[in-house]
Amino acid sequence: MANRDGASQRIPARQQIALSAYWFSLNFQGAALLTIVIPMALDRLAYGSHTLVLARLAVLGAVVAMVLPPIALAVAVVSVGRCFCGVRE
């Protein structure tokens, strides 16, 4: 992490552990949704073709994950006037 002067400073171990616990819980919740809840819901909604619907849903999620970040970055650069993520015009 960098401070105002641009020099990097170390994050204490306690904060790193807290951040790791936070991200682990989010990852655990997302993994449970993708592997348990969504297939079970699709099995109930589209009984005969639930695997096809799940495959299409996975493809749609992958396309959104590839397309949305560059669009969001372009909108941020245009709206702010400068990029805050290290990319310069």
What per-residue confidence (pLDDT) applies to 59? 95
Q: What is the pTM for the complete model shown?
A: 0.53
Q: Which two tokens stand for residue 26?
A: 């989010």
pLDDT given for residue 24 in this prediction: 93
Name the residue with tokens 């991200």: 23
CB atoms within 10 A of CB 22: 10
Contact 55, 38 (CB under 8 A): no
Residues ≥6 apart with Cβ < 8 Å to 88: 82
Q: Where are the domains of the chain?
A: 1-45, 49-89
Residue 76: name the closest of 61, 62, 65, 87 by CA.
87
For the segment 18-71, what is each residue's pLDDT rounded down to a tens digit? 999 999 998 998 888 878 888 888 888 888 888 898 899 889 999 999 999 999
